[in-house]
Amino acid sequence: MKVLILYGGRSGEHEVSCLSAASVLRHLNPRRYTPLLCGITREGHWFLQEDSRVQAVLQGADLQVHPGAEVSIVPAKGFQAGGALLDLDMVFPVLHGTFGEDGTVQGLFEMTGVPYVGSGVLGSSLGMDKEKAKQVWQYEGIPVVPFRSFVPEDHQEARGDIPGKTLRRLWQEWTAALQVPLFVKPARAGSSVGITKVHSFQELAPAMKTALSFDSKVLIEKAVTAKEIECSVVGNLAPRAFIPGEVEPHHEFYDYEAKYIDPDGAALIIPARIPEKDQHRIMELAVRAYRACEARGLARVDFFFHEDRGELYLNEINTMPGFTHISMFSKMCEAGGLEYSAVLDELIALGLQEFTRRNTLQYTRA
């Protein structure tokens, strides 16, 4: 099978995508797949990478986006590079964040009629929008971290810089409902990009400015002091969850630096150090959350668990989680008996299965 690995992208998670894609490339079974690389620059240009660069990454070189034959999309046909259609069996979009994990590129794949790995348009967009995902889970009776949201256009006086009197009023409302400290974050971003932990009113304005630089909607959440538990889920209509793991941050919270820059930023513990009955409870809720969002292929579902009180909160779902061989998603799968290369085999098979299912549907009147 010819598998096109799509990586890079315009989001703040460009570097993370390059790391994940390099790991995917190195673990694809060469007897089963012929890999191609398509890198997306920070400006949004798509370039097919030369085979020599594929070989260099396979031998340990870092993966970056280099100029090459520009890739374009031909509706109902596929991908084109150098004036010719690419012969592809599957696209593996190892893209994190905006313009990759939010349903936009998945819609593009649907228009071209090319099979792809992972969630479709709805599952991807719901997973990216933390507010909308929480509302869906609340409807399903799944406990979520208490939250509020902020959109400047909803406040006549806040179109532009947010006035101090508006911030003071919001601070009073939010702290009354959620207490202090608060997390202020972009509603549609990942990898802890743009997140600030706010302990006082004086910290609110710069936190809001940071979040609004990444998204036009801000999520304000209660800072839950509890264990951070993550759970891998794989499947389409009948997904299965793997034994959950625990993140023990060595920073104030599990921020971008702790995840990707500081090698000692966090300890990843599998299985999570919680009672077995609670592990199974988390696995059950992870599958429910996955199905509620209509996720497909894979996801990592994140929770907060307060063992003393037995309180469990669903935090978020990541429909294309970090995918290096040391990422929690792949490590939890491995702990459950599914090695990294076998995960890739299954995800590609699930992508083909979902493509076949969609193609049995009728879209025009007879």
Residue 120 confidence (pLDDT) above 90: yes
Reduced to 3 states, what is the DSSP secondary structure of residue 64?
Answer: coil
Q: Residue ranges per domain, the chain? A: 2-116, 126-143+225-357, 147-222
Residue 254 confidence (pLDDT) above 70: no
Q: Which pLDDT does position 154 carry in this prediction?
A: 78
Q: Binding site membership for Mg(2+): which residues?
A: 302, 316, 318
The verdict on whether 327 is a catalytic residue reads yes
Tens-digit pLDDT profile for residues 90-103: 999 999 988 999 99
Residue 222 confidence (pLDDT) above 60: yes
Tens-digit pLDDT profile for residues 289-345: 999 999 999 999 999 999 888 899 999 999 999 888 888 999 999 999 999 999 999
Tens-digit pLDDT profile for residues 209-221: 999 998 999 999 9
Task: For residues 44-56, give the mean pLDDT.
Answer: 96
Question: Between 3.40.50.20, 3.40.50.150, 3.30.470.30, 3.30.200.20, what CATH number should domain 2-116 receive?
Answer: 3.40.50.20
Cα 298–347–112 angle (5° rounding)? 95
What burial class does residue 80 get, using C-beta atoms within 10 Å of its C-beta: 0-12 exposed, 13-18 middle, 19+ buried?
A: middle
Q: Binding site membership: which residues?
A: 130, 183-185, 191-192, 221-228, 302, 315-316, 318
Same fold, 2-116 and 147-222: no
> In sequence order, what DSSP letters do the residues of 315-363 get, joined into one string?
EEEESS---STTSHHHHHHHHTT--HHHHHHHHHHHHHHHHHHHHTS--
Tens-digit pLDDT profile for residues 143-172: 999 999 999 887 755 555 777 888 999 999
Give CATH for domain 126-143+225-357. 3.30.470.20
The verdict on whether 213 is a catalytic residue reads no
- Active site residue: 191, 232, 330, 354, which one? 191
The verdict on whether 232 is a catalytic residue reads no
> In 29-183, where does DSSP find H-type helix?
51-58, 104-112, 121-128, 130-139, 164-178
Q: Which pLDDT does position 251 carry in this prediction?
A: 57
Is the C-alpha dihedral spanning 266, 272, 274, 280 positive or negative? Answer: positive
Comparing 55-69, 172-186, 232-246, 258-272, the range with the smallest average pLDDT is: 258-272
CA dist 131 to 104, 118, 256, 257, 312, Å?
18, 21, 21, 24, 18
Question: Distance from CA of residue 190 to its chain's centroid?
Answer: 6
Q: Binding site membership for ATP: which residues?
A: 130, 183-185, 191-192, 221-228, 315-316
Tens-digit pLDDT profile for residues 297-310: 999 999 999 988 88
Q: Which pLDDT does position 48 carry in this prediction?
A: 97
Which of the 8 DSSP states describes residue 163? P
- Active site residue: 13, 101, 246, 354, which one? 13
Give CATH for domain 147-222. 3.30.1490.20
Cα 291–296–142 angle (5° rounding)? 25
- Active site residue: 17, 232, 327, 330, which one? 327
Q: Which pLDDT does position 362 carry in this prediction?
A: 82
